Amino acid sequence: MIDFNNAKFVKLRAVGNDTYSRTIEGLLVEGEEIISTYKGLRDGVVFTNKRIIAINVQGLTGTKKDFTSLPYSKIQAFSVETAGLLDLDSELDLWFSGIGAVRLEFVREANVSEICRIISERVL
């Protein structure tokens, strides 16, 4: 599993939903659809209608990948910090039962309001 507390992630930026569709197609359950996709340098995060899938690309060639499934049903609370005038990124903090805190950082241009809406629709 990805160590969210100690891992250093490049800021995530929005990419097309087809970026990881082939990579995670075997993980998706019936009726699960990709809503939005974000990518760092190598790692990525996919928001589906049922969960968040964190993809950690490992090794020199990048063929080894670690997938962490974060179901919306386990989110106890979340917080979004938008980019400011001097702050160049946005942050999403999620608290999961059994895992603890997870932080995802996004580039300034990321639509964190949309991400917040996606989570709210599934958690509240």
Residue 80's CB is within 10 A of a number of other CB atoms, namely 16
pLDDT tens, the chain, 124 aa long: 455 655 555 689 999 999 999 999 999 999 999 999 999 888 999 999 999 999 998 878 778 899 999 999 999 999 988 877 666 788 899 999 988 899 898 988 888 888 999 999 999 8
pTM of the entire structure? 0.88
Q: Please name each of the domains of the chain with its CATH number.
A: 13-123 (2.30.29.50)
